[in-house]
A and B are shown apart, each in its own frame.
Chain A
Amino acid sequence: MKPFGELNGLAAPMDRANVDTDVIIPKQFLKSIKRSGFGPNLFDELRYLDEGQPDSDNSQRPLNPDFPLNFARYQGAEILLARANFGCGSSREHAPWALTDYGFRAIIAPSFADIFHSNCFKNGLLPIVLHADIVSTLFDEMYATEGYRLNIDLQAQTVTTPSGAVYEFEVDAFRKDCLLKGLDDIGLTLEQAPAIRTFEEKWRAQSPWLFDVIK
């Protein structure tokens, strides 16, 4: 996983509440057995005017001119500004895969759905929760200013606007550490293998019906 340090990136809007994972990446693209290549189909139904299929040549498809991510001013965006309950719905990790494949590295919203929030961290994508009023301010400033860039400092846990306003955000200490160092969760957990084995033996003695049944 790519370490996340400081990010100075262009912000783009997804100005709707309750954006669900079906909107982020529609189900027909979930049939891929790969982890990459979902970027061109991020927000597929909103982004294109036709119906996308896994084998479509996306470069030939008609773009929806009204969808902000298709506007020239938001090309190259790395920060997504969103509304409440972003990422609700399914547990599909294809949602953060599509967002990162597109180029997003952070999402700022008043709240996130639990599973999506956790999936983001596994993929080097930083979900930042800021108060709804602050998020609204950022939206207003972004709409008013072409080339609106935000500076995100994960170490300091701050978002800084072009005018110099600094907003602090909370982040789980463990997740922060993993993201800063680009650490692999599995490798870290396997360092605890002796503790897992000890627990497993105790648990097996206590609940033997849970073991060796499916074989």
Chain B
Amino acid sequence: MAGKTLYDKLWESHLVELRDDGTALIYIDRHLIHEVTSPQAFEGLRLAGRQPWRRDANLAVPDHNVPTDAEERAGGVAGILDPVSRLQVQTLDDNCEAFDIVEIPINDIRQGIVHVVGPETGATLPGMTVVCGDSHTSTHGALGALAHGIGTSEVEHVLATQCLIQRKMKNLRVRVDGRLGLGVTAKDLALAIIGTIGTAGGTGYAIEFAGEAVQALSMEGRMTLCNMSIEAGARMGMVAVDQVTLDYVKGRPYAPTGALWDQAEAYWRTLHSDVDAVFDREVVLQAQDIKPQVTWGTSPEMVLPVDAMVPTIEAQADEVSKNSVKRALQYMGLHGGQAITDIKLDRVFIGSCTNSRIEDIREAALVAKGRKVAANIKQAMVVPGSGEVKAQAEREGLHTILLDAGFEWREPGCSMCLAMNADKLGSGEHCASTSNRNFEGRQGIGGRTHLVSPGMAAAAAIAGHFVDVRELGGHA
């Protein structure tokens, strides 16, 4: 009998019931909750007279709507200027109170983007099933967890039953051989993978990222990589547990200690695909071929190395592709054949659940050190992923480097990744962004998003246009 994949093991260990029709009841260990996708779920519980099945499985934190401006933030929930945002954050507080769910409130130092907070607090652990009403829940797969986003009906379902009705996904291994070059990061790897398999390439699959280049990534790099599984169409992405994982988890507030740690570690060390495991599909990339990436269009798969030219409509194979490239070029205000490095920028955003952890801030600060943001950049903002990340960066003096260079240093939250708070792009503005989606209007109506790594974003802020961070020097 063939061996098991990591996904097979995680799935089987959480199987409550397998039905004849192939659907299964899967037990959920950790449910993370934020303010946008939960109000209707709590309302559903209320209407049906139901209570949460297991309160200690849940952890809530507001992130999408919280202001990142220090002054507005200081007023707490009551100080949020947009009344609709304020109501949503207030509703989360009220629901957590009413249903006795632990919440990290807006101005707690542990507050931050839910996908930064989970791993950072140890609320996310290897071997867990982790869900949240947010598609970037795939991030937590970096710890060797089965983690994916769910809709609001499923948020309610998990609250009420501690389970989800699922059908098993197929297994896809993305293997990256060799080592990434200097100045090429997990973000570039994620974008290169999406560029290779497409935004629907992972649909129907659970992705395991493997190979030398993935093993060489830090835990934070693995989170960046797994975070963007959903942009490749896969609900979940994961990386096998190894020493890097264990070193990261040890000592986190919600992680086990003492004898429990030893017991957990022994189990966690089994969380990898067996040598003879069979994958339904495998994609292999060579790390050395990957250069810093920049998206030029309105889908994450519209991505190219920084030294490339924007594609032409004529070069597209079929009508559907011609139409989407035409539409994307029009929306982005670009023309086919234009060099990526000729794209002028208006704003720079460093943050989001993809790239707002301490290593991301370090990467940006390293490039920014001793330099100045270009005159044509209206705003370059750095939004740390959590209060803890912010505090750590300040201990290292990174905020001073960034502020000296002309960047804004903000309070933690989702911010301009999806522009649900006050941080957004103006129409027609080009933004170098470390976030995960370059959809039309994502960062503000008419806004033009280019996805890049933190180092590339910082380099673009300094140059005023895209530039290969490796030429600017100062990269890690």
Residues of chain A whose beta carbon lies under 8 Å from any beta carbon of chain B? 16-18, 20, 22-23, 26-28, 30-35, 45, 51, 54-55, 83-85, 88-94, 96, 111, 113-115, 118-119, 122-123, 172-174, 185-186, 189-190, 192-193, 195-196, 199-200, 203, 207-215
Contact = CB atoms under 8 A, between A and B. Distances in A.
Contacts of B323: 16
Contacts of A174: 19, 21-23, 165
A85 B151 contact: no
A193 B327 CA distance: 51
Interface of B: 14, 16-17, 19, 21-23, 25, 27, 29-30, 36-37, 39-40, 43-44, 48, 50, 53-59, 64-65, 82, 84-85, 87-88, 91, 102, 123, 125, 127-128, 133-135, 137, 148-154, 156-157, 160-163, 165, 167, 199-200, 203-204, 230, 233-235, 254-256, 260-261, 263-264, 267, 299, 320, 323-324, 327, 418-420, 437, 439-442, 445
Contacts of B133: 91, 93
Contacts of B64: 30
Contact of A114 (B235, B254, B267): B235
B235 A31 contact: no
B48 A195 contact: no
B46 to A, nearest CB: 12
B440 A22 contact: yes
Nearest to A33: B39
A83 B199 CA distance: 14
A113 B149 CA distance: 12
A91 B153 contact: no
Contact of B420 (A31, A35, A190): A31
Contacts of B267: 207
B17 A192 contact: yes
B440 to A, nearest CB: 6
A28 to B, nearest CB: 7
Contacts of A200: 27, 54, 162
6 contacts: A22-B437, A28-B420, A91-B133, A186-B44, A209-B261, A209-B264
Contacts, number: 202
Contacts of B123: 214
Nearest to A31: B84
Nearest to A120: B151
Top 8 A-B residue pairs of the complex, sorted by shortest distance between their CB atoms? A209-B256, A122-B153, A33-B39, A93-B151, A91-B149, A119-B151, A93-B152, A91-B135
Most chain A beta-carbon neighbours within 10 Å: one of B29, B153, B230: B153
B157 A18 contact: no
B318 to A, nearest CB: 10
Contacts of B440: 22-23, 45
A114 B199 CA distance: 12
Contacts of B154: 118, 122
A194 B159 CA distance: 17
Given A94-B152, A114-B233, A189-B163, 6 more contacts: A31-B36, A34-B40, A91-B134, A174-B21, A209-B260, A214-B58
Contact of B37 (A34, A91, A196, A208): A91
Contacts of A199: 16, 27
Contacts of B84: 31-32, 54-55
A185 B442 contact: no
Contact of A185 (B29, B153, B204, B419): B153
Nearest to B323: A16
Contact of B134 (A16, A32, A90): A90
Contact of A172 (B16, B23, B151, B441): B23
B442 to A, nearest CB: 5
Contacts of A203: 14, 27
Contacts of B48: 186
Most chain B beta-carbon neighbours within 10 Å: one of A30, A123, A172, A215: A30
Given A23-B439, A88-B199, A111-B203, A31 B149 contact: no
A211 B261 CA distance: 14
A185 B166 CA distance: 12
A30 B36 contact: yes
Nearest to A83: B320
Contacts of B260: 208-209
B125 A210 contact: yes
B153 A119 contact: yes
Given A18-B299, A22-B440, A85-B200, A209 B163 contact: no
A212 to B, nearest CB: 5
A118 B112 CA distance: 28
Contacts of B160: 186, 189-190
Contacts of A27: 418-420, 442
A207 B324 contact: no
A51 B163 CA distance: 40
Nearest to B152: A93
A113 B102 contact: no
